[in-house]
Structure 1
């Protein structure tokens, strides 16, 4: 699995691009980092890659995932997951049901429950399936959000400052947890951050917008 951007730029229709066109290739299990000042368009670029670009903006260039051009596809067909600044668990669902939301509809019954239980165990959250998301700590929410994203079997993962609300110690722990799982699963990641320590921990290419 590889994520390849060629001469990609984003901007308002009829206006100038928000940043100079970029090209990069992210190998399986690698995490590349996008850095730059606020408002330059880092998150907007992730929106364009994931298929969530706001009305009134256009993207130019090519985005290919495993050789497949994705820019013409709806978000649900791109196989690209997203981790946001906030863990964004559904408050009306239990922790287990939140994770199950990431599974394909074809995974049913006992197989569905076993998949969720295995993911919770990997996240250090064994026995948490029936818990209310509101009772989780920040680190627990972050781990649950990652496992939900991975259960959807994405071919790439976009990380939109997912560590920025965590204190330094927890930030290092969760960052390591996320990057380890991406490496283990062979999933290319693209990280947006303002923190150079995130880029150092990611260990991949760094692009300054």
Structure 2
């Protein structure tokens, strides 16, 4: 499903501190996520989890005061435009474009120079991998929650990111689907060799990820618990 071979390195956060006005959201967070590993940030709403992801993506509002460094494969992300960072993200909602078919959604992130036949081949392979065969022409609104989640992940992976961020992407799924979709996402992230950062308040998500867990209430010490 993936395109040309590319080097994927660790996602490294060092001394990250984020404030807004007089409020300290994140204090001296440091963590290194190797390729293929999943690290979880655990904490309640308002603890700064999604703010961290926005900073990593390059979309954090300038009203926030940020210090510390973020490097991906050795490259400093701080000065890069969001589109140049090659960081994929999945949100609580599977944000598929409503004006595009399922197949067109998946093709959206593919490099423009890829031929039409190659685009079709990659999309069909991704749909098959996600058990969405035959749904390329479907309206995304007709998909089930689990189908939307799998399609959103495939679209993200087809864009060939070098890191994956997960912003509580399982929280709105039916309980019967959560385990299956969690396993699907984590398996594909590892298969692609992506350093992956999950933020959640659900311990079941963190346990399913199977990697180190950082408690945001103790993020100043950047403690990692197996």
Which TM-score band (shorter chain)?
over 0.9
Q: 2:56 corresponds to which residue?
A: 49
Aligned residue for 2:11? 3
**What is the SS of the residue equivalent to 1:39?**
coil
Whole-angstrom distance in 2 between the partners of 1:74 and 1:83? 19
Alignment match, 2:99: 92
What is the rounded CA distance, in whole Å, between the counterparts of 2:189 and 2:104 in structure 1?
A: 23
Q: Does 1:163 align with 2:165?
A: no
CA drift of 1:55 comes to 3.1
Instruction: Say yes or no: does 1:80 pair with 2:87.
Output: yes
Instruction: Report the Cα distance in structure 2 between the residues aligned to 1:58 and 1:130, rounded to whole angstroms.
Output: 45
TM-score w.r.t. length of structure 2 = 0.90
Match of 1:20 among 20, 27, 35: 27
Aligned match of 1:140: 147
Deviation at 1:24, TM superposition (A): 0.5
Residue 39 of structure 1: how far off its partner (Å): 0.7
* Distance in 1 separating the partners of 2:197 and 2:215: 13
Alignment of 1:99-110 (within 5 A): 99-110=106-117
Question: 1:90-113, CA deviations, whole angstroms, 9 ceiling, x for partnerless residues?
Answer: 001000000000111111210111
Instruction: Find the aligned partners of 1:15 and 1:126 in 2 and give their Cα distance.
Output: 52
Unaligned runs of 5+ in 2: 1-8, 217-226
**CA-to-partner distance for each residue in 1:32-62, whole Å, 9 max, x for gaps?**
0011121111101100011110231132101
Q: Aligned with 2:25: secondary structure?
A: coil
Moved more, 174-183 or 103-112: 103-112
How far did residue 9 of structure 1 move? 1.7
Deviation >4 Å, runs of 4+: none
Partner of 2:221: none
CA contact (8 A) 2:16 2:26 kept: no
What CA distance in whole angstroms lies between the structure 2 residues aligned with 1:57 and 1:141?
32
**Structure 1: gaps spanning 5 or more residues:** none
> Match for residue 34 of structure 1?
41
Deviation at 1:169, TM superposition (A): 2.1
Distance 1:169 1:78 in 2: 35
Matches within 5 A, 1:175-194: 175-194=182-201
